[in-house]
Amino acid sequence: MRERILLVDDDTLAQDLLKSVLQTRGYVVDTAEDGFAAVRMLRNERYDLALIDYHMPDLDGFASARLLRDVSSGDDGPKLVAVTADNNALSVRPGADTVFDAILPKVVAPQPLISSIEQLLRNPKRDRAIEVAAASWRERGLSGRPKVVAFPVPTREQALALDICFDRATLATADMIVLLDASALETISTWRARAGDFLLPVVDLSGTLATSCDAAFSINDPLSWNAAAEVIIKFAARRALLGRESQRAVELDTRLMAYLFVADRALCPIGDPASKLFIRYPGFFPANELGAVTERLTSSAFP
């Protein structure tokens, strides 16, 4: 599992050192220069743990931790760990034991740090849910939880569910894109038309765009698990049949043809009253460009 850690420290050198140690152990690490930035990040992302430097200007680690505790929602909030060179002063500060889950010395060797973090992050119930999800995917022919990129950026609640069923990744390593909300349609359209890694299936988690996506997924529907696994396997197998030029194509004509081949589907318009053009197309290519593209492709096929 790739737990997410937030480093809150105004010292960029200390940030870089800690980040390197944590990333080496497989953690996903973000950084914030102060408590205010950390609060903004916590509102938009779910973190499992926050490492907070105690001695920061303007808003010290204790006040930053209190802010983070206030914006966290119950058990879903991150574990808060103080990192300080003055362990005694912080430990005797009134309220420190209720604000922080642990206090670590500022200069800490990598192995004790990792051991402390692993101990804090243990959540048997959640670990069991992840194991069950991974086993379910393996039963469907995958090696474990699919690696995904989510559009738009998930809320903390969405991230909590995503991180049980899926392993979040980058576009370069992902198995599929998950669509959480229709607000991301333009972003996905730009990705499909412009990004380098464009031959990934899009799986609908919103419950409203299944006809435009390559599959739909619902945690409570076993058939949707089958469909998602099948589309991942199909896309991977058919991608392997394409030459590198097609997989990394720049021009939209080739990208569209490559997608239609990998997805094994036809380019049929889909009615969408919410769209300015009243139609969408499978794969979420830019609808306003597809008319010219299909005309060129048709002309080349039937001269």
Residue pLDDT, tens place only, 204-228? 999 888 888 999 999 999 999 999 9
Q: Where are the domains of the chain?
A: 4-122, 127-301
Residue pLDDT, tens place only, 224-244? 999 999 999 999 999 999 998
Cβ atoms of residues 5 and 68 within 8 Å? no
pLDDT at 104: 82
How far is residue 233's CA from residue 239's CA, in Å, rounded to a whole number? 10
> Which of 142-146, 194-198, 249-253 shows the highest mean pLDDT?
142-146
- Its CATH class, for the domain covering 4-122, is alpha beta
* Predicted confidence (pLDDT) at residue 46 exceeds the cutoff of 60: yes
Q: Is the pTM of this model over 0.85?
A: no
Mean pLDDT calculated for residue range 115-136: 89
Instruction: State the CB neighbour count (10 A cutoff) for residue 90.
Output: 20
pLDDT at 301: 58
Residue pLDDT, tens place only, 168-216? 888 889 999 999 998 898 899 889 888 888 999 999 999 888 888 999 9
pLDDT grade for 23, boundaries at 50, 70 and 90: confident
The closest of 219, 191, 217 to 204, measured between CA atoms, is 217
* Predicted confidence (pLDDT) at residue 262 exceeds the cutoff of 70: yes
How far is residue 104's CA from residue 54's CA, in Å, rounded to a whole number? 10
